[in-house]
Amino acid sequence: MLYQLSNSVREAAHSGIREIGNLAIKRPGTIRLEVGQPDFPTPPHIVAAAKLAMDEGWTGYTATAGLLSLRERIAGKLQRVNGITADPEAEITIGPGGVGAIAALVGALVEPGDEVLLPDPGWPNYRLMTTWSDTRAVYYPCPAENGFGPDLEQLAALVTPRTKVLVVNSPNNPTGAVYSQDVQRALLEIADSHGVWVVSDECYDELVFDGEFKSLATFGSDRVLSAYTFSKSYSMTGWRIGYATGDRQVIDGAVKVLESNSSCVSTISQKAAEAALDGPQDCVGEMRDAYRRRRDLACAQLEEHGLLLARPSGAFYVMADVSAAGIDSRSFAIKFLEERGVSVAPGTAFGEVGAHAVRISLASSEADLQEGIGRLAEFLA
Ligand code: PLP
Query: Is residue 172 located within the same domain as residue 95?
Result: yes
Question: Which domain-ending residue is among 246, 278, 310?
Answer: 278
Query: Is residue 65 located within the same domain as residue 203?
Result: yes
Which parts of the chain are beta strand (E)?
Answer: 31-32, 92-95, 115-120, 136-141, 163-169, 197-201, 224-229, 242-245, 317-321, 342-343, 345-346, 357-361
Domain assignment of residue 313, given as a range = 7-42+282-380
Task: Point out the ligand 1 atom lying closest to the alpha carbon of residue 100.
Answer: 14
Q: What is the CA radius of gyration of the chain?
A: 20
Residue 366 CB neighbour total at 10 angstroms: 13
Spatial contact of 32 and 346, defined as CB atoms under 8 Å apart:
no
Longest CA span, the chain:
59
- Is residue 318 domain-resident? yes
Residue 172, ligand 1, Cβ within 6 A: no
- Is residue 147 domain-resident? yes
> Using one digit for the tens of pLDDT, what is the confidence trace for 311-340?
999 999 999 999 999 999 999 999 999 999
Residue 95, ligand 1, Cβ within 6 A: no
- Is residue 95 domain-resident? yes
Question: Which domain-ending residue is among 244, 278, 312?
Answer: 278
Q: 187-191: long-range contacts (C-beta < 8 A, 24 or more apart)?
A: 187/150, 187/152, 187/155, 187/216, 188/216, 188/219, 188/220, 188/221, 188/224, 190/152, 190/155, 190/156, 190/159, 190/166, 191/166, 191/221, 191/223
Query: Is residue 288 located within the same domain as residue 274?
Result: no
Query: Is residue 245 located within the same domain as residue 302?
Result: no
What is the reported pLDDT for 37?
86
Task: Point out the ligand 1 atom lying closest to the alpha carbon of residue 123.
Answer: 3
Site to substitute for ligand 1 among 148, 203, 262, 291, most atoms within 8 A of C-beta: 203
Range 38-77 burial, b when 16+ CB lie within 10 A, else e: bbeebbeebeebbeebeeeebeeebebbbbeebbebbbeb
Residue 203, ligand 1, Cβ within 6 A: yes
Question: Which domain-ending residue is among 260, 278, 296?
Answer: 278
Query: Is residue 109 located within the same domain as residue 235?
Result: yes
Query: Is residue 186 located within the same domain as residue 292?
Result: no
Residue 97, ligand 1, Cβ within 6 A: yes
- Is residue 1 domain-resident? no
Query: Is residue 62 located within the same domain as residue 167?
Result: yes
Query: Is residue 38 located within the same domain as residue 50?
Result: no
Residue ranges of the chain with pLDDT lower than 50? none
Residue 314, ligand 1, Cβ within 6 A: no
Query: Is residue 165 located within the same domain as residue 252?
Result: yes
Burial of residue 37, with CB atoms counted within 10 A of its CB: 0-12 exposed, 13-18 middle, 19 or more buried: middle
Query: Is residue 269 located within the same domain as residue 291?
Result: no
Residue 36, ligand 1, Cβ within 6 A: yes
Model-level pTM greater than 0.85?
yes
Query: Is residue 81 located within the same domain as residue 113?
Result: yes
What is the reported pLDDT for 2?
63
- Is residue 194 domain-resident? yes
What CATH number corresponds to the domain at position 89? Answer: 3.40.640.10
- Is residue 104 domain-resident? yes
Query: Is residue 20 located within the same domain as residue 66?
Result: no
> Using one digit for the tens of pLDDT, what is the confidence trace for 10-58?
888 888 898 999 999 999 999 999 988 898 999 999 999 999 999 999 9
Task: Point out the ligand 1 atom lying closest to the alpha carbon of residue 240.
Answer: 15
Spatial contact of 170 and 188, defined as CB atoms under 8 Å apart:
no
What CATH number corresponds to the domain at position 331? Answer: 3.90.1150.10
- Is residue 2 domain-resident? no
Closest-CA residue, ligand 1 atom 3, reads: 173
Overall domain count for the chain = 2
